Each structure stands twice: as C-alpha cells, then as structure tokens.
C-alpha cells in the first residue's frame, strides 16, 4: 500500500525507506533470500517488484547450493 501511495504522490518518495521497507532493497545481498525471490516475485505488485529489483540483477545469483523449488 505504501508503494502505491508513493506512486500516486500521496506519500513522499522517501516514504518506503522511512516506513521500514528499505530492507527489501538489500534482499539480494544474502544469496539464500535472493534465490527465493522468484517464488515471491509473482505475488507482489509491479511497482513493488521494480522497487526491489531496481539496480540489482536477480539472475546474477548462483542458487545451485540451495534446494529451492
């Protein structure tokens, strides 16, 4: 909801960070969490997906060490 409100201009652009969503931007720093992203990705909005993936390459992770369905 916060991402939608930022997109609509209701909340300022830094609201995602200030409201605690900033940790999602570091999702790919840990390969295990980054490797589960494809399972989560389809369940989030396009705007939130872009927010998380901005400036990152989810496909750059080596997920071969994890038994992720």
pLDDT in tens, 2-60: 888 888 889 998 888 889 888 888 888 888 889 999 899 999 989 889 888 988 888 88
- At 39, give phi and psi (nearest 5°): -75, -25
Between CA 31 and CA 36 the distance in angstroms is 9
pTM for this prediction: 0.74
Between CA 38 and CA 25 the distance in angstroms is 15
**Through-space distance between the first and last CA atoms of the chain, rounded to whole angstroms:** 29
Nearest to 29 by CA among 1, 2, 6, 52: 52
Nearest to 68 by CA among 42, 34, 17, 43: 34
């Amino acid at each position: 909801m916060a991402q939608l409100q930022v997109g609509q201009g209701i909340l300022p652009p830094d609201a995602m960070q200030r409201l605690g969503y900033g940790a999602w931007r570091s999702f790919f720093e840990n390969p295990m969490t980054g490797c589960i992203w494809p399972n989560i990705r389809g369940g989030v909005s396009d705007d939130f997906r872009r927010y998380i993936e901005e400036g990152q390459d989810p496909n750059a992770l080596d997920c071969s060490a994890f038994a992720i369905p």
